[in-house]
Amino acid sequence: MTRRISWLWLLAIALVAANLRPVITSVPPIVDSLSVSLGLSTVAAGALTTLPVVCMGLFAPVAVALGRRFGMPWVLTLSVLAIAAGCFLRAFALYPGTALAGIGIAVAGALLPSLVRLSVPELVGPVTGLYTASLIGGALLAAGLTEPLRSAFDLSPQRVLAVWSVLALLALVVWLAFGQSARPYASRPPGLVEVRAPWRLYTRLPWRSRPAWLGTLYMGSQSLTFYAALAWLGSRYTGLGFSPARAGALLALFSATQVVTALAMPVLAHRRGSLRPFVAACALATASGLLLVAVVPSSFAGAPWLWVALLGLGMGGNLSLALTVLAGSAPSAHDVAGFTGMAFFVGYLLAAIGPVAAGALLDRSGFTTVFLVLAVLGVLTLVVGLAAAPRPATPAPAAPPAPQDPAAPATGTAPRSR
């Protein structure tokens, strides 16, 4: 019997994922007005985007412990609730609310890959692509709508940040209705185990596992490259004479193209049966885009748009493939949370220092050097990604036919009784 996956369960997963980035991407469009209204220094304003990323690293291992103690579906419920509460709290207590939402993001992000592999083990790639595309789509939505919402409802720069609690509450309601039971199939075939208790994890962080370290380095290198490039890509082009509005349009294109490969790459890899060609293609696209932005950022009229689109296509695929690699490298579905918890702990702490380190290098050497260094990191992502991607399984050779006893009757014949 063919299992038919429930679209309502997929919607619940997608909505949870869509809440994993608005806390970060809602700040840059209004950071100047927010700084003026609250009297924030440059460092304090930068901490609003760095703080959630730090939380995503520090609290990812906590997700494993909570999942082991209480079960993944309920812990995911509490993490989405924390995101909603944190978003709302930012209207009154900016930094505590940001930290609370960051903790919720850390826990939910670490558990989603494991939940997907436990729920739909035969569709890990496509479903990972779906929730990664939803994650990037949520980031794009928050970046594009925060300032228009502030203007439309005449909200202060701080109060408009609370608007994104509505998206989190919507995800919470849909998750409780269709996702929390961890039953992804519209019709359950014979032999599929019914889940009556919360799914608990029986794993710890795999510090001594070579595949876990390779997956961690892959996640860390692509995260570091992404956040450092995101922090300075707009400034690269405003320094070349682009208006802030035009640079913002470039960043919107950067995010939109990520959605395409985030959704497509795991699906294509699933159909082909191998991740490695797609890991290589996305890492090469990333490195090439960074190199072009460094050396020939605006060699002709359409060059900035082409280079940024190439960069977005590479980076969107990098993220979804890194999550797919982590889910596929773990020896069992229960071990996925340990792999992702370790990868997020190391990877996002690296990502948090990326923009700062790139800024320090920028002050000393300029934009060209910054993006050349990031291109080298793109090549490093290629190397560790190919090492981390599981090799496709090769079918075992067929056993030779057993020798036949000459005294036995020929196969396929039977003595007739008379």
The DSSP letter of residue 179 is I
Shared domain for 146 and 227, answered yes or no, is no
Q: Which domain holds residue 283?
A: 209-391
Shared domain for 116 and 54, answered yes or no, is yes
Tell me the C-alpha distance between 4 and 186, whole Å: 6
Is the pLDDT at 145 greater than 60, yes or no?
yes
Shared domain for 328 and 378, answered yes or no, is yes
In this structure, what CATH number is given to the domain that contains residue 51?
1.20.1250.20
pLDDT tens digits along 311-359: 999 999 999 899 889 888 888 777 777 888 888 888 888 888 888 788 8
Shared domain for 225 and 165, answered yes or no, is no
Is the pLDDT at 240 greater than 60, yes or no?
yes
For residues 45-69, average pLDDT: 84
For residues 241-266, average pLDDT: 84
Residue 14 lies in a domain: yes
The DSSP letter of residue 175 is I
Tell me the C-alpha distance between 410 and 158, whole Å: 85
Residue 317 CA from chain centroid, whole number: 10
Q: What angle do CA 223, 126, 176 make, to 5 degrees?
A: 90
Banded model confidence at residue 287, pLDDT cuts 50, 70, 90? very high
Shared domain for 177 and 232, answered yes or no, is no
Write down which residue in 184, 219, 252 finishes a domain.
Answer: 184
Partnered with residue 5 across adjacent β-strands are 185
Domain tally, the chain: 2
Shared domain for 63 and 144, answered yes or no, is yes
pLDDT tens digits along 195-214: 334 445 546 778 888 998 99
Is the pLDDT at 179 greater than 60, yes or no?
yes
For residues 255-260, average pLDDT: 89
Shared domain for 242 and 104, answered yes or no, is no
Is the pLDDT at 192 greater than 50, yes or no?
no
pLDDT tens digits along 47-58: 788 888 899 889
- Structure tokens that stand for 403 in this block: 């020798």
Question: Per mean pLDDT, which range of 30-34, 243-247, 318-322, 412-416 is the poorest?
Answer: 412-416
Residue 409 lies in a domain: no
Residue 372 lies in a domain: yes
Tell me the C-alpha distance between 221 and 218, whole Å: 5
Is the pLDDT at 377 greater than 90, yes or no?
yes
Tell me the C-alpha distance between 399 and 347, whole Å: 45
Shared domain for 257 and 173, answered yes or no, is no
pLDDT (0 to 100) of residue 88: 96
Is the pLDDT at 42 greater than 90, yes or no?
no
Shared domain for 39 and 141, answered yes or no, is yes
- Structure tokens that stand for 62 in this block: 């906590």
Residue 190 lies in a domain: no
Residue 286 lies in a domain: yes
Is the pLDDT at 416 greater than 50, yes or no?
no
Residue 402 lies in a domain: no
Shared domain for 139 and 230, answered yes or no, is no
Shared domain for 249 and 121, answered yes or no, is no
More confident residue, 290 or 10: 290
Residue 413 lies in a domain: no
* pTM listed for this prediction: 0.77
Is the pLDDT at 36 greater than 70, yes or no?
yes
- H or E segment and range at residue 120: none
pLDDT (0 to 100) of residue 103: 95
Shared domain for 19 and 163, answered yes or no, is yes
pLDDT (0 to 100) of residue 193: 35
Residue 407 lies in a domain: no
Write the CB contacts of 164 (distance below 8 Å, at least 6 apart in sequence). 19, 22, 23, 26, 87, 142, 146
